[in-house]
Amino acid sequence: MASFEVRRDGRELRWVAVGVTGESHGHALVRRRPDRRTFVFVRDAAPEAFGPLLAAVARDVEGPLYAVIDAADTGQLAAVTSSGFVPARRESEYGIDVATAHGRLGDARLPAGYTLVGVEEVTVDELVRDGTR
C-alpha cells in the first residue's frame, strides 16, 4: 500500500494525492455547473487514493456534492459508496457522428417555432427560465 497525502492544489478546485517522494497518486477536480450543482471528478487515481481524494473534497466543499463515475468500474463504485455517496441518477452516453447524422436527416425540418443556433450565439442566461438553472 502506497503512502501519500491529499492536499488542495492552490486556489483551484483541485486536490492531489502526492506520495512521499512527490509522485502523483491521482487528482480530483471540482466543477460548479450553471445549474449550481457541484460535481467531483477523480482522475488517474490509484485505487487506494480514490476514497481519500473524495473525502478531502467533501470536507472542503460546502453543499451537496455529486460524483461522476463509470458504474462498470467496481473499484470506483465501491470507493464512492463507502465515502457516503448514494446513487442519484444513472446515465448512458452516446456519441453521434455529426456528418453521418446530417446526411441521414435529408430534408427533415424543425417543428414550427423552433430554430437551431450555434453555442457561440447564446449565453447561459438566455437559456435560463424563471431564475432556475
Report residue 95 as a C-alpha cell: 456519441
CA separation for the pair 107, 67 (Å, rounded):
41
pLDDT on residue 118: 80
CA separation for the pair 5, 51 (Å, rounded):
12
CB contact at 8 A, 42 and 13: no
User: What is the number of structural domains in the chain?
Assistant: 1
Specify if 66 maps to a domain.
yes
Give the helix/strand (H/E) hosting 13: none
Task: Enumerate residue ranges in the chain where pLDDT < 50.
Answer: 130-133
Specify if 113 maps to a domain.
no
CA separation for the pair 5, 20 (Å, rounded):
8
CATH number at 12 reads: 3.40.630.30
pLDDT on residue 129: 57
Domain of 35?
4-94
Give the helix/strand (H/E) hosting 60: helix 47-60
Give the helix/strand (H/E) hosting 78: helix 74-82
Specify if 109 maps to a domain.
no
Specify if 24 maps to a domain.
yes
Specify if 32 maps to a domain.
yes
Give Dmax (Cα) for the chain: 63
pLDDT on residue 2: 60
CA separation for the pair 91, 36 (Å, rounded):
19
